[in-house]
Structure 1
């Protein structure tokens, strides 16, 4: 039998992460989150994550610094950060984007199913 679980997540009720992200829908093998109206800042320290990330820019501009490369992102662009790749973002204009991660990026107090 296939999984027939249906979940709806209202972004107004979504938990927020410590970096300002909103955690949206989450399944067993992927999750979604949103960065909403992030303001320009200096890049945060580089890091590598144990999940792959794909993203889509809704509005604004940013730079993705990935393994020595700089990728300019603007509305309509999509990107990928491979699992384990060292990266950071520099927001250059107020920025809104959605990301999906696999395996799921998790928030501590949220059900993992």
Structure 2
């Protein structure tokens, strides 16, 4: 069965993410207009994350490596890997997580 989530139905999550379409094994979310930061703590998730940057600039720090991200870049955060984002310019990205992020 197909599922649609319209902009009017999208709900903001506890960390500011916008919940998009989701299923049993994969889910999408959007981080919209995330403001520059320098002190976002490291986190570790049990889901694998792939993302696509729509606008802005950020560094993804994952597993001790820093990767610079800008509009048009895509990225992967492996499950169980400690990571954080250092946002330099107002940042919007769409991510898919598997299994769905909680």
Q: With structure 1 as the length reference, what TM-score do the two structures score?
A: 0.87
Once the two structures are TM-superposed, the CA of residue 67 in structure 1 deviates from its matched residue by 1.0
Q: Secondary structure at the match of 1:73?
A: strand
Q: How does 1:1-113 map to 2 (within 5 A)?
A: 5-106=1-102
RMSD: 0.9
Q: Secondary structure at the match of 1:11?
A: coil
Once the two structures are TM-superposed, the CA of residue 19 in structure 1 deviates from its matched residue by 1.4
Structure with the higher strand share, 1 or 2: 2
The gaps in structure 1 that reach 5 residues or longer are 107-113
The gaps in structure 2 that reach 5 residues or longer are none
Q: Distance in 2 between matches of 1:102 and 1:89?
A: 19
Which has the larger Rg?
1
Q: Distance in 2 between matches of 1:70 and 1:20?
A: 23
Q: Secondary structure at the match of 1:13?
A: coil
Q: Which runs of 4+ in 1 moved over 4 A?
A: none
Q: Deviations over 1:35-89 (max 9, x none)?
A: 1111101241101101000000001000001111100000000000000000000
Q: With structure 2 as the length reference, what TM-score do the two structures score?
A: 0.96
